Chains A and B, each alone.
Chain A
Amino acid sequence: MSTTAIPNDECRPDRESDSQATGGNPRHRLISDRKENALFHQLRTRCIHSMLRTAMATSRLRLSVLIVLSAVFWAGLFLLFAEGFTLLNGAITHLPRRARMVQDIYNVFFMTLLAMLTVSSSLIIYSGLYRTDDVRFLLTTPASCRRIVLFKFQESLVFSCWGFFLMGTPMLIAYGAVADSPWYYFALLLPFMVAFVCIPVSLGSILCMLVVYFAPRLRFHLVGIVGVVGLVAAIWIGWSTFSAARADVLTSAWLDDMRARLQFADQRLLPSWWLSCGLLEAAHRETVPGLPETWRESVMFLGVLISNALVGGLLVGFVGQRTFRRGYSRLQGAVSPYRSARGSSFDRWLLAAMKPMPTSVRLMIVKDLRLFRRDPVQWAQFVIFFGLLALYFINIRRFQYGDNLQHWINMIGFLNLSVVGLILSTFTTRFIFPMISLEGRRFWMLGSLAINRDTVLWSKFLFACFGSIVPCASLILLSDAMLGIVTHAPFVAVIHQITCWVLCIGLSAIAVGLGARLPNLRESSPSRIAAGFGGTLNLVLSALFIITTVMVSAVPTYCYLQPDHAEALIKAGPTALWLWLGIGSIQAVYLSLSITILLGVIATVIPLQLGIRAFRRLEF
């Protein structure tokens, strides 16, 4: 054949093909924008209803834990902010001065939020629009690109909003409560917040679509550059704001100095300024003679925010209509489907370093390390969370502790230990716990090898231990070094390190053991495995283990370093028990260390034993 056309006589025509060229199935037409909107709305509603029904039927424990933890977190933040604003009220009695100070703080807070929401929403919309199966499906239907983009934009808005609500509402409500604000301040909070969030999410969405459209090959480079510039800016602003820390905190001179440093956020063209002004206007009962009433001013700022949010939504739809389909296609062509995966010298070095271990264990550990390294979702979260902690630890000396250094050192050192442990527990739940479930889907490979099943579990455990001890112990060392514990109280630093190692080993064992005991072999998504009953149980048990271990370790050390607190504790009761434990003495510290290690042994042995037994019996 020399032609590319298939002659009609090779087929069996029963219908006139010419008639189709004018309009497809004549009964159907492209649906109107309103009908399309209604269909997508119905789709969303049905999915949410179904999801809630399933969650109520199968994940009540998880939902309850989530709600309770969120409520506790919210209440904690509320109390913290209420205390802070009360302190500010006491320290700055001059009302206009206090209002200006609060506005400066709000300006900085909302401007930071504006930048963070813009970046995070661009990442959320990127994964939602360009990396999901449902969009791939929708693009093959007659759905308009505008509708698809707006559909995902709404999702991105919800994802961005809930964090803001969880973090922002306790602060704003606490301010209103402390400032004795009128009812409409509280009523306006929600519209203000929603309107504000729409603006950065629109901006982030538009930026994302334009980057994918114009520079699909350079998207990661651009994100990297923006990330580095943002980090440098944040460090510079943080440094210039909190450097040259002074002892005369909350004095008039300090306030003037601090206000001058915060002026960079006083930008009237930014939505953050409109938000802070609008909220503060609503919060004040006083009306200045000759000026509009405060609530009117507030509603005016709300109007500015809403109109900008609506324009943002329109622009998202417009840019989506113009760029999305072509950008989607360009993105697919931006990278070769074939990704090379060469072995690294680090793997070879690691294999050599683990020589005393059985070969099968070494190979399994290196395989898991490769999977981890080649999955940006895993290491990116790891780097972001532990990186933020490292930044906090490095800057910990910027806060002033006054003369009560010993008291604060002990408290903050152990609190840092708890934070590291809690973050590690989220990682072990998200990444270590699902490993066995995921291995189950590939078990045809491991099952056909001449290795003991226990080897699989031991290798996961060792991988998790190595992977957690190195960063966590380093972070605790950094925290202790920045707090001066390493030089002033090396004994406490050793206690921190021992507790940290116990936490890492115990959390790894809990995740591996429960992962083998409660696997979900039908699920291929690690996040869904982690979100199930097993994952939730793992998170709860890990949290209990962390709290118990840190308390056992912290209280005797604290009492040993602060004898007056030990006496107060003994008086508060149960006196006999504290006296029997010798609280306040070095012996009690040694005893607590022994109990800490014992707790670690229990948390390691029991879950691993349960896991190994279940894994031996498991049928794939």
Chain B
Amino acid sequence: MIELAGITRCYGDTKAVTKLDLKVPASCVFGYLGPNGAGKTTTIKMMVGLLRPDEGGVIVDGVDAMKNPREANRRIGYVPDQPYLYDKLSGREVLQFVAGMYGMSASETKDSIAEQVERFALSPFIDRLTESYSHGMKQRVVFAAALVHKPQVLILDEPMVGLDPKSMRLVKDLLREEAGSGTTVFMSTHTLSVAEEIADCIGILDHGRLRFLGTVDELRSELATEHGSLEDLYLTLTAEIGTETPPPGSPEMAAGAE
């Protein structure tokens, strides 16, 4: 479970996220949408301990991430928007290091790595140095690293970027499977079709405020539109926000803000 309680975060004079309240329960795939610069990555960075909110708090799986970031991180598997791997290690060595950091025993590490290698079809390159990987290969290893310790919360920032259609299918199935086994999945994405296909619930962020929270059907009813894909709804909503931004605390759109 993830709980964000009134979090605000500024960069200099720019407010990236403003008083964001959000609860994502276990076994849920949450799609976090919003235009570029809306504050999605900032929200995620606060959840994984890279940033501290200026106000508010973050609870990850019952652990206060501000007070005990290590314990919170232990429960999280994180796939960043720009995958980082140690250039001079092989994919297997990276996975071994990550498993060790999460306190897994040697036998658990071996079994779990074997499972991830098979799941993400890493065997052709897992023992090569990661500096020779393509973006898609890196992304698959990062996925494996995020899942190797079987986290309770999976946080993904733009996970589909750089993946081929087969890998995308794999990831979509995987996210549903993880949620099915009780994991909380929090995914930011611009790929609306992916969110529409696998997310149980979506949140739309704009200018640091949560403008909508609910299911696609609820969004449809909110906009009084019977038909239309998530893409149409999203564009309609963000266009409305663009023309008349509601003031802070406005009840009409801001499901989660204020």
Among A5, A334, A338, contact of B23 (Cβ-Cβ < 8 Å)? A5
B84 touches A136 (CB 8 A): yes
Enumerate chain B interface residues (CB-CB to A < 8 A).
Answer: 1, 9-14, 16, 21-30, 45, 48-52, 54, 61-63, 69-71, 73-76, 78, 80, 82, 84, 86, 88-89, 93, 97-98, 100-104, 108, 129, 149-152, 179-182, 200-201, 210, 212-215, 218, 251, 255-256
Q: Is A136 touching B50 in the complex (CB atoms < 8 A)?
A: yes
Closest residue of chain A to B200 (Cβ to Cβ) is A11
Chain B residues within 8 Å of A334, by CB = 12
Asked whether, in the complex, the Cβ of A11 is within 8 Å of the Cβ of B50, the reply is no
Q: Mark A284-310, 1 if CB is under 8 A from B, else 0.
A: 000000000000000000000000000
C-alpha gap A15/B153 in the complex (Å): 13
What residue in chain A is nearest B48 (Cβ atoms)? A140
**A336 to B11, Cβ gap below 8 A?**
yes
Q: Is A29 touching B103 in the complex (CB atoms < 8 A)?
A: yes
A54–B128 alpha-carbon span in the complex (Å): 12
B255 with A333: CB separation less than 8 A: no
Contact call B51/A25, Cβ cutoff below 8 A: no
Q: Does A8 contact B (CB under 8 A)?
A: yes
**A141, B95: Cα distance in complex, Å:** 12
Contact A142–B101 (Cβ < 8 Å): yes
Q: Is A395 an interface residue, CB under 8 A from the partner? A: no
A15 & B213 in contact (Cβ 8 Å cutoff): no
Determine whether the beta carbon of A338 is less than 8 Å from that of B28.
no
Tell me whether B100 and A39 are in contact (CB under 8 A).
Answer: yes
Q: Are B27 and A21 in contact (CB under 8 A)?
A: no
Given contact pairs A325-B49, A328-B50, A329-B50, A20 touches B23 in the complex (Cβ within 8 A): no
Q: Is the CB of B255 within 8 A of A28?
A: no
Residues in B with CB closer than 8 Å to A335 are 11-12
A134 CB-CB contact with B under 8 Å: yes
Q: A1-B255, A325-B49 are in contact. Are A140 and B21 (CB under 8 A)?
A: no
Q: Knowing that A133-B82, A140-B49 are A-B contacts, what are 16 other residue pairs whose CB atoms are under 8 Å apart, sorted by A's residue number?
A: A4-B210, A12-B180, A20-B1, A24-B61, A24-B152, A25-B75, A25-B149, A25-B150, A50-B89, A139-B48, A142-B70, A142-B103, A325-B69, A329-B50, A332-B50, A334-B12
B25 surroundings in chain A (CB, below 8 A): 5-8, 11, 13, 17
Are A1 and B213 in contact (CB-based, < 8 A)? yes
The interface residues of chain B lying within 8 Å CB-to-CB of A139 are 48-50
B218 near A25 with CB under 8 A, answer no
Among B14, B21, B201, the residue within 8 A (CB) of A337 is: B14
Q: Nearest residue in B to A11 (C-beta to C-beta)?
A: B28
Provide the residues of chain B in CB contact with A144, threshold 8 Å. 70
A325-B49, A333-B11 known; A35+B100 contact, CB < 8 A:
yes
Q: Tell me the A6-37 residues at the B interface (CB within 8 Å).
A: 6-8, 10-17, 20-22, 24-25, 27-31, 35-36
Q: Least Cβ distance of B173 to chain A in Å?
A: 14
Contact of A50 among B24, B88, B180 (CB under 8 A): B88
In contact, B30 and A6 (Cβ under 8 angstroms): yes
Q: What is the size category of the interface that chain A forms with chain B?
A: 35 or more
Contact assessment for B150 and A4 in the assembled complex, using a CB-CB cutoff below 8 Å? no
Q: Knowing A24-B152, A46-B88, A335-B11 touch, does A39 contact B179 (C-beta < 8 A)?
A: no
- Bound complex: CA A27 to CA B29 (Å): 24
Knowing A11-B201, A35-B100, A39-B101, the reply to whether A24 touches B27 (Cβ < 8 A) is no
A51 within 8 Å of B (CB atoms): yes
Q: Of A2, A29, A338, which one neighbours B251 at CB under 8 angstroms?
A: A2
Central interface residue in A11, A13, A17, A54, by most chain B CB within 10 Å: A11
Residue A113, interface by CB 8 Å: no
The answer to whether the Cβ of A162 comes within 8 Å of any Cβ in the partner chain is no
Q: Are A21 and B89 in contact (CB under 8 A)?
A: no
Q: Which residues of B contact A581 (CB under 8 A)?
A: none
Is B151 a contact of A25 with CB atoms below 8 Å? yes
| B12 CB, nearest partner CB in chain A, Å | 3
Complex Cα distance A25/B112, Å? 14
B75 in complex: contacting residue of A24, A39, A330, CB < 8 Å: A24
**Do B13 and A336 touch (CB < 8 A)?**
yes
Query: Across the interface, do B103 and A50 meet the contact criterion of CB distance under 8 Å?
Result: no
The residue in A4, A54, A139, A333 that gathers the most chain B C-beta atoms within 10 A of its C-beta is: A4
Complex-state Cα separation, A12 to B177, whole angstroms:
11
How far apart are the CA atoms of A42 and B101 in the complex, in Å? 12
A28 to B148, CA, bound (A): 12
CA distance A2 to B254 in the complex (A): 8
Shortest Cβ distance from residue A60 to the other chain B in the assembled complex, whole angstroms: 18
Q: Shortest beta-carbon distance, A137 to chain B, in Å? A: 5
B51 and A329 within 8 A (CB): yes
Closest CB in chain A relative to B157 CB, distance in Å: 11
Q: A314 on the interface (CB 8 Å rule)?
A: no
Chain B residues with CB under 8 A of A326: 52
Chain B's nearest CB lies how many Å from the CB of A214?
15
Specify which chain A residues have a CB less than 8 angstroms from the CB of B151 in the assembled complex. 24-25
Bound complex: CA of A30 vs CA of B51, how far in Å?
21
Compute how far the CA of A79 lies from the CA of B52 in the bound complex, rounded to whole angstroms: 56
CA distance A20 to B184 in the complex (A): 11
Determine the residue in chain A with the shortest Cβ distance to B88.
Answer: A50
Set of chain B residues within 8 Å of A15, measured between Cβ atoms: 26-27, 181-182
Which residues of B lie under 8 Å from residue A20 when comparing CB positions? 1, 26, 61-62, 75, 152, 182
Is A187 an interface position by the 8 A CB rule?
no
Asked whether, in the complex, the Cβ of A333 is within 8 Å of the Cβ of B101, the reply is no
Any chain B CB within 8 A of the CB of A543?
Answer: no
